[in-house]
Amino acid sequence: MKITAKTIAEQLGLSIATVDRALNNRGKVSPKTLKKVLEKAEELNYKPNMSASLLSRKKQILIAIVFPVYPEYFWKEIEIGIMKTYKDLRDFGFEIDIIRTKKFDIEEQVKVVQDIINSGDYDGLVLSANDAAPLMQVINAGIESGFPIYTFNNDSPLSKRISYVGADYQDSGRLAGELLERFTHNSKKFALITDKMNTFQMQQKVLGFIDYLTQCNGMESIRPLKISNTELSNLIMELKQDIEQVDGIYVATGALAEVAREIEKMKLSKKPILIGHDMNKEIHHYLLNDVITATICQDPVYQGALAVRKAFDHLMLEEPIKVVEDIVKLEIVTKGNVKYYIHD
């Protein structure tokens, strides 16, 4: 039987209103009555109705959620998770404001974060940091002023941020190295395609990838092939000679589909094993057509949902942060299971 305030009121011969005031520390209740109600609640293992409590308090919270524009397909999935959780929580006075920033414009994102903190309009910030070090100072300044900041997907681990939801990117890089080794079987030469913007996330992927290769006999990587999202097609074609000499390629950037498209155009006599990250319709297409061998996914919908939920629990329910780093699982997607990872 569910124990309610009415149950306690009936057993003590009190009004429901009196019991409600005692349980929620609201209004005048004599110390003697308060003691009786709390003891009976403990005896009956009473669990408060959090929804009713929140609604009765009429508490209002507004948080800003800041993340980049690119790659659009990935952040669209993140936003699906954010909105899914928000729809469950908005009736309790919990509001969100989504703000998008350019992918690698660090100065713009620092300014956006500073403006959010200084505005006085928000009660907290959930942030996907474009890079770790440049944002550390502004995050720390916000935290020290009493402004809660939580990170997701892209972390600033040396900052004083309250919590992080996202992948372990060194593990991502190691997993990519393991996949290349297993798909090529023997001693092989690999290419590592990175972004010209050497962000913290990129550094972690590269560290993990190189770490795995150094532990394996007969595996080597040619110099990192650095690309940018502007004029990507021309850059890939310029790297054709490098690509022709390798057995496998790890695309550590968010440009897996673009790299696959250019490799397909090369009409190579021997297709390299191609490994990268995330999922969209183009990646789905190239997996089915054996241009991409495998991609590593990190459940962006879940990341978005959990990041919002953690901020709600901490700010609205005033619950302490028990897990500072919620590391999401990495999932390997190949031609055989890709149908489960594409959404309309």
Q: 195 pLDDT band (50/70/90 cuts)?
A: confident
CA distances (Å), origin 288, targets 91, 245, 276, 284, 342 = 43, 24, 15, 6, 12
Q: How much is the mean pLDDT over the chain?
A: 88
- What are the φ/ψ torsions at residue 223 (nearest 5 degrees)? -50, 145
Q: Which CATH number does 59-166+300-328 carry?
A: 3.40.50.2300
Radius of gyration of the chain (CA): 25
- Position with higher pLDDT, 323 vs 235: 323
Is the per-residue pLDDT at 154 higher than 70? yes
User: How big is the CA angle at 130 (ends 129 and 131), to the nearest 5 degrees?
Assistant: 85
Helix H or strand E segment including 14: none
59-166+300-328 matches 169-297 in fold: yes
pLDDT in tens, 218-262: 777 777 777 665 556 666 666 777 778 889 999 998 889 989 998
Q: Is 49 helix (H, G, I), strand (E, B) or coil?
A: coil
Q: Which of 36-50, 52-66, 240-254 has the lowest mean pLDDT?
A: 52-66
Q: Which of 137-141, 284-288, 316-320 has the lowest mean pLDDT?
A: 316-320
Instruction: Determine the average pLDDT of the residues in 64-80.
Output: 93
Distance CA 227, CA 334 (A): 25
Domain parsing of the chain, residue ranges: 5-48, 59-166+300-328, 169-297
Please state which CATH class domain 5-48 belongs to.
mainly alpha
> How much of the chain exceeds pLDDT 70, in percent?
91
Distance CA 211, CA 302 (A): 28
Q: Which of 27-41, 119-133, 163-177 has the lowest mean pLDDT?
A: 27-41
Q: Which CATH number does 169-297 carry?
A: 3.40.50.2300
Instruction: Determine the average pLDDT of the residues in 324-330.
Output: 96
What is this structure's pTM? 0.81
